[in-house]
């Protein structure tokens, strides 16, 4: 079995919007209440409640004490409890910090509900949701025959628009792994001024969407500075800024989806470096804005699942592998290539090659070695 989500833009009416706001608020309220209860139990030396025990406490105590919780979808509150417990699990495993209280103004406005008795459905121009009924939607794609709905996540974006992500379960077709050959594999080296250079010498020129919109964003943020905090005009300007940011994010995502699809169709095995993009985007590295604008980490995630679906693979070479310092012709090491200002490698064997092209060739060779091993 496999899962896949499809995101639809939805356009709720005023009554449906009010119900969504109630659900967002109730989920936030339950999260904060259960976080307080767990902290009090810890201080009193009591055992931490599991997610099932916490959900039972919510149903038997919180809903009786706060009757407004019965006005919203019960599955949304259950997921709010489960998400808090997921936060605790990540904290205990040292994967994230301690769960925090959610603020009305800063917390993400989203909730998840489960499918039961046909309460979620996708029509020609609508999506049926619990407590909301039929919500007008842009159905750009319909699920394939045999796909079963598991859950739906309703989200209000910062710019005031709504979307729903519907999770489907289906039986995945069994695909056989492709044979590893030179022609069906490619190496990609990350390129800050662009996106990547491949082992065939081709360079992907990534448009700098954020930099292109920087002037408009700066102008909109200057206007926000001169408005009274909390006023209606302040909130309207905040939405304008959020709309600009979302437009940039959508542009980037669209480019990366098309680029990753093109590579996945052309090659069966893609070799890349396992880079720490968060570390590369820090101030000390000098090109943090370009690194974040490229979205290279998102690009690799897209490549990974698209290659896996067709029977291919994404091979990650260790970030300590000296791809830029090794001559792709004779294998000689050139420590001077640690200096990023040197853009061309010159080797004693007579090889003169661009550093990114050279690195991509070495990444492909190392990736093929790992695949054969």
Residues noted as catalytic: 183, 273, 356
What is the Cα–Cα distance from 71 to 54, expressed in whole angstroms?
A: 20
**Closest-CA residue to 107 (of 175, 178, 27):** 27
Q: H-type helices in 122-225, by residue range?
A: 209-212, 214-225
What CA–CA distance (Å, rounded) separates 346 from 319? 23
* Cβ-contact 109, 155 below 8 angstroms: yes
- What is the DSSP secondary-structure string of 44-107? TTPPPPPHHHHHHHIIIIIHHH-GGGGGS-HHHHHHHHHHHHHHHHHHHTTSS----PPPTTTS
Distance CA(112)–CA(134), nearest Å, equals 17
Q: In this structure, what token pair is assigned to residue 276?
A: 């720490």
Sheet strands side by side (includes 313-317):
203-204, 196-198, 185-190, 269-273, 313-317
Instruction: Enumerate the H helices of 208-354 as residue ranges.
Output: 209-212, 214-225, 232-266, 277-280, 288-294, 296-310
């Amino acid at each position: 079995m496999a899962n896949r989500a499809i995101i639809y833009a939805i356009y709720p009416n005023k009554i449906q919007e009010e119900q969504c706001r109630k659900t967002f608020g109730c989920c936030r309220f339950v999260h904060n209440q259960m976080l307080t209860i767990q902290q009090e139990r810890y201080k009193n030396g009591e055992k931490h409640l599991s997610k099932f025990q916490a959900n039972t406490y919510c149903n038997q105590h919180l809903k009786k004490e706060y009757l407004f919780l019965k006005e919203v979808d019960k599955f949304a509150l259950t997921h709010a409890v489960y998400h808090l417990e997921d936060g605790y699990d990540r904290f205990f495993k040292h994967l994230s910090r301690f769960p925090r209280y959610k603020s009305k103004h800063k917390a993400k406005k989203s909730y998840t509900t489960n499918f039961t008795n046909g309460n979620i459905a996708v029509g020609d121009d609508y999506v049926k949701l619990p407590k909301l009924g039929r919500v007008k939607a842009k159905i750009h794609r319909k699920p394939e025959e045999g796909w079963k709905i598991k859950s739906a996540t309703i989200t209000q974006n910062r710019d005031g628009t709504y979307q729903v992500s519907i999770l489907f379960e289906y039986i995945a077709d069994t695909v056989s792994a492709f044979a590893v050959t030179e022609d069906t594999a490619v190496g990609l080296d990350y390129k800050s001024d662009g996106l990547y250079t491949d082992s065939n010498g081709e360079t992907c020129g990534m448009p700098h969407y954020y930099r292109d919109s920087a002037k408009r964003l700066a102008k909109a943020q200057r206007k926000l500075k001169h408005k009274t905090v909390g006023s209606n005009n302040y909130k309207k300007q905040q939405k304008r800024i959020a709309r600009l940011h979302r437009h940039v994010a959508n542009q980037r995502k669209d480019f990366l989806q098309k680029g990753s699809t093109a590579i996945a169709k052309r090659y069966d095995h893609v070799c890349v470096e396992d880079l720490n993009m968060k570390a590369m985007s820090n101030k000390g590295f000098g090109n943090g804005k370009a690194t974040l604008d490229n979205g290279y980490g998102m690009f690799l995630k897209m490549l990974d699942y698209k290659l896996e679906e067709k029977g291919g693979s994404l091979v990650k070479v260790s970030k300590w592998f000296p791809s830029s310092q090794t001559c792709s012709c004779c294998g000689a090491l050139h420590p001077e290539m640690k200096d990023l200002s040197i853009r061309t490698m010159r080797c004693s064997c007579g090889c003169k090659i661009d550093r990114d092209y050279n690195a991509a060739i070495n990444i492909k060779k190392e990736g093929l070695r790992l695949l054969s091993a």
